[in-house]
C-alpha cells in the first residue's frame, strides 16, 4: 500500500523513503555485464572518448528516448558513474535489484528533492561522476524536449564539468534482438564545459543556463533528434 509523504513542501506518493546505497558493492558486476552486452547484444560505437575528463567531478548529461539510454552508458566512459534514477525504478520489483545494488541515487520527480541533491553533491565533491537525463522523462517524439533546471542548479552549486553525451540507436536494441540481430548504437561525447554563475542564480538564470547546456547536447545529436533545440550554436 502506498503512502503520501511531504518532500520540500510538496506531496509525492511512494511506498517508502528509498535510501541511496553509497557502497554500490555490485557496480563492478553490473559494469562487467554491460561490457559483455556491448559486444554480444549491440554494435556499440563511441565517438569522442578523449573528451571524458580523466579526473575531477563531472555531470554526464544524456538525451533520453528509450529505457536503455541511461543503462548502456554507465560502463562506456572509462570512469565509474553514479546514476540518478527516478524513484519509480526503485518501486518496480524488476528494476529494484539493479538500481539499488548499482548505487543509483533515488530522485522524486516534480518536487525539490533535497536528499537527491545532497547525495549528488557528495559524489561530485569527492571528484566522482553523476549521470543525469536533464529532460526528466523520455521523449516520445525522439527529439529533445525542454530540460529541467536541476542540472544547472547542481552544476553551479558544485562547479563540476558538464559532459554532453548524445545517444542514438537504443530504440532498436530490443526489436533487433527479437530478430537475433545486434542494433547499431552510437555515443557521441562532446567537449566538457562549465555552467558559471557569479552569485546565487535566479530561476531565470538557471533556465538560461539549462538551455545553454541543452544546446550543447543537441550539438552532438543528429538534426532529427535535436527537438526544440534545433538552432544549436555550439
The answer to whether residue 72 sits within a structural domain is yes
Total structural domains within the chain: 1
- Residue 71 inside a domain? The answer is yes
Q: What is the DSSP letter of 64?
A: -
137 part of a folded domain = yes
Q: Is residue 230 part of a domain?
A: no
Distance CA 38, CA 110 (A): 33
Domain assignment present for residue 51? The answer is yes
Specify if 12 maps to a domain.
Answer: no
Residue given cell 526544440 in the structure block = 228
**Of the candidates 169, 200, 199, 168, the residue with the CA atom closest to the CA atom of residue 182:** 169
Name the one residue in this structure whose C-alpha cell is 533528434.
225
Give the chain's mean pLDDT.
Answer: 90
Grid coordinates in use for 10? 510538496
Distance CA 202, CA 206 (A): 6
The model's pLDDT over 74-110, given as tens digits with 9 standing for 90+, comes to 999 999 999 999 999 899 999 999 999 999 999 987 6
pTM: 0.90
DSSP 98-137: HHHHHTPEEE-TTS--HHHHHHHHHHHHTT-EEEE-TTSS
Q: Are 134 and 189 in contact (CB under 8 A)?
A: no
Q: Give a yes or no: residue 233 inside a domain.
A: no
Q: What is the pLDDT of residue 197?
A: 82
Residue 103: name the closest of 156, 175, 38, 31 by CA.
Answer: 31
What's the rounded Cα separation, in Å, for the pair 84 and 123? 11
Burial of 121 (0-12, 13-18, 19+ CB in 10 A): middle
Q: Which residues pair with 7 in a beta bridge?
A: 10
CATH number for 139: 3.40.1130.10
Residue 95 lies in a domain: yes
Phi and psi, residue 101, nearest 5°? -75, -20
Which of the residues in the chain have pLDDT under 50? Answer: 1-12
- Domain containing 66 equals 19-35+42-222
Strand 42-47 to 129-132 pairing: unpaired
Amino acid at each position: 500500500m502506498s503512502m503520501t509523504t511531504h518532500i520540500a513542501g510538496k506531496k509525492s506518493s511512494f511506498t517508502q523513503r528509498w535510501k541511496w546505497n553509497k557502497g554500490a558493492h555490485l557496480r563492478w558486476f553490473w559494469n562487467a555485464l554491460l561490457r559483455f552486452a556491448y559486444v554480444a547484444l549491440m554494435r556499440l560505437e563511441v565517438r569522442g572518448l578523449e573528451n571524458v575528463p580523466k579526473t575531477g567531478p563531472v555531470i554526464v548529461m544524456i538525451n533520453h528516448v528509450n529505457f536503455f539510454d541511461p543503462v548502456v552508458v554507465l560502463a562506456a566512459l572509462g570512469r565509474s558513474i553514479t546514476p540518478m534514477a527516478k524513484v519509480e525504478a526503485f518501486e518496480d520489483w524488476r528494476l529494484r535489484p539493479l538500481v539499488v545494488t548499482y548505487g543509483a541515487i533515488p530522485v522524486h520527480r516534480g518536487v525539490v528533492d533535497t536528499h537527491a541533491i545532497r547525495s549528488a553533491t557528495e559524489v561530485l565533491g569527492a571528484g566522482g561522476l553523476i549521470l543525469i537525463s536533464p529532460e526528466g522523462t523520455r521523449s516520445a517524439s525522439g527529439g529533445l524536449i525542454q530540460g529541467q533546471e536541476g542540472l544547472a542548479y547542481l552544476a553551479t552549486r558544485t562547479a563540476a564539468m558538464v559532459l554532453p553525451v548524445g545517444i542514438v540507436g537504443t530504440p532498436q536494441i530490443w526489436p533487433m534482438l527479437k530478430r537475433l540481430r545486434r542494433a547499431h548504437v552510437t555515443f557521441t561525447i562532446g567537449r566538457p564545459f562549465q555552467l558559471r554563475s557569479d552569485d546565487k542564480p535566479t530561476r531565470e538564470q538557471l533556465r538560461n543556463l539549462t538551455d545553454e547546456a541543452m544546446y550543447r547536447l543537441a550539438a552532438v545529436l543528429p538534426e532529427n533528434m535535436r527537438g526544440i533545440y534545433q538552432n544549436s550554436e555550439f
